[in-house]
Amino acid sequence: MTGYGKVSVVFQGKKITAEIKSLNSKALDLSTRIAPIYREKEMELRALISARLERGKVDFNLWIEKDEEQTALPINASVMGAYYKQIQEIVNEQGIPAPTDWFATLLRLPDVMSRTEIQELSEEEWTAASKAVEGAIDMLIDFRRQEGEALYNKFLEKLNNIAELMASIEPYEKCRTERIRQRIVEALQNIPEVEYDKHRLEQEMIYYIEKLDINEEKQRLANHLKYFKETMENGQGQGKKLGFIAQEMGREINTTGSKSNLAEMQNIVVKMKDELEQIKEQCST
């Protein structure tokens, strides 16, 4: 399921941001981009995300933005002083003119402006970063929960529509027997000099109607609809199972269509197939 979460916290002039997003996937596919100072915690972060998210193509980012004061490169005064002393000695020894702009000259020399400190991750900073990570995951899960509720309601709507459509077939079932009988009798009457046994005709009609009976399909479809609803209420990770149930529902609907032998019933079957197809599209993602 899709989702998105982003949380930032401030720690000693640093803005620490955790961002996580997910797309539909049948398994957990996690990729991460983590600021160098937090690399030592990558396995811990992966374990945390894997424990809280069962599936999805997940992208996780954790980075730092520093304020201008921290971003500015420091001037190494000791190196700058050493350069100044050497240049003065050369000026005095060689008798050449001293620079007219000492600062411009010295600041261009190597290592005068540099950041040489080694970054170490403190427990306090990691605690602050962890809060951002947890908050981003919470936000994504809440996003997914809302999407899941909307999908649940959509499934219920489609299941109820299928049940109502199947129930709407009943009036046509009752008149179907007589229609079939009339068509056969009329066909026989249109054939000249043909005599038939009415008793035998009724027996054949009963056999024919029994072959077209859809009561078993209706009962099985009702059971599948009920089972689909129960499976949805059993929690996460049921997508594959719901897909299998939807396939069984499709078999009963298709059999109903092949047995319909009546335009009005077949039109209803087409509508049921359309409702079911919308369910299958979601189950396959």
**Structure tokens belonging to residue 95:** 């008798």
**Structure tokens belonging to residue 198:** 């009415």
pLDDT of 135: 96
Residue located via tokens 């219920």: 156
From the list 34, 40, 37, the residue with the least C-alpha distance to 20 is: 34
Indicate if the pLDDT at residue 108 is higher than 90. Answer: no
Measured between alpha carbons, how far is residue 180 from residues 17, 209, 256 in Å?
Answer: 72, 9, 17
pTM of the predicted protein model: 0.64
Measured between alpha carbons, how far is residue 203 from residues 21, 109, 191, 207 in Å?
Answer: 66, 110, 21, 6
State the Cα–Cα distance between residues 139 and 142, nearest whole angstrom.
Answer: 5
Least confident window among 74-78, 86-90, 134-138, 222-226: 74-78
Report the half-sphere exposure of 116 (CA within 13 A, side-chain side): 8
Cβ of 106: how many Cβ atoms within 10 Å?
Answer: 18
Q: What's the CATH code, domain 3-70+123-143?
A: 3.30.230
pLDDT of 101: 82
Strands 28-34 and 14-23: unpaired
Residues 282 and 155: beta-carbon distance below 8 Å: yes
